[in-house]
Structure 1
Amino acid sequence: MSTIAPHLEIRFRGRVIEHLGIDMYQSPVAAIAELVSNSWDADSRKVDVTLPPKIGPGAEIVISDNGEGMTLAQCQGRYLNVGYDRRKDRGDDRTPKGRPMMGRKGIGKFAGFGIARFVTVETVSKETGERTTFRLDATQLIEDSDSYAESQPLTVDVLNYEEADDSRTTQHGTTITLSELSLKMTPNAAQFRTSMARRFLLMERADEFQVNVNEESISESEDVEKIEFSFPSDYADGQLPEGVAVEDGWGVETLPSGSKVRWKFVFYKEPIGEEELTGISVFSHHKLAQRPFLFNLSGGFGGQQGTSYLSGRVEADFLDEQKRDLISTERQRVNWEMDASQPLLEWGQTRVKSLLRIWQGLRSKAKVDAMRKRMTPFSVRLGNLERPERKIVEKALTSIARISSLNDDQFGDLAEAMLSAWEGGRLKGLIDDLSEADTMDAEVLVKILAESRVMSALHAAEHVKSQLNLITGLEERIKKHELENEVRDYIAQNPWLVSPRWETFRVERSVKALVDEVAKEAYGEYWNARMDLVLSSGNQLLVVEFMRPGLKVDWDHLNRYERYVYKLQHATLAKYSEFRTVSGLLVADKIEKATDVLAKIDDMRPRDMDATDWAGLLGRAKKQWEDYFDILFSRAPEDSRMQSLAHASVSDAS
Structure 2
Amino acid sequence: MARNNAHFGVSPRLAVLLGESYRTAELALKELVDNAWDANAAAVSIQIPSVLTENARIVISDTGEGMSPKQIREQYLRIARDRLKERGTRTGAPFNREIKGRKGVGKFAGIVLAEVMEVETKQKGKLSRFRIDRRTLENTPGDIVRIKVPIDTTKCSPQENGTTITLSHLAQTINFPTAESLRHTLAPDYGREERFAILVDGTRLDHMQTAGHKAVETLTAADLTGLRVELVISEKRLPKEMQGIVVRVRGKIVGRPRLFGLEQDESVPPRLLQHVTGVLYADELEEEAARSGWTDLNESEKRVAAAFAAAGRLLKEQLKAAYSQQMSAAHARFMKKYWQRMRELPENKREFAKRELANIVNRYLGNDERTDEAIEFMLKGLEQDDYWAVMKALIEAVPGDISAVAQALKSFGLIDLAMVARGTKARLGSLRSMRLLIGDDATIEARMHEIVERNLWVFGAEYALLSSNQTLQTVIPKALAVRKSWRDGSKRPDLLLLNRYKDRFLLVEFKRPSETLNWQDKAQAEDYRGLLLSYASPIDIIVVGGKRIKEMPQLPENGSIKMLTYFELISQAESELQWLLKELAADRTTFGEPATVIATDE
TM band (smaller chain):
0.3 to 0.5
Q: Which has the higher contact order (CA 8 A, sep 6+)?
A: 1
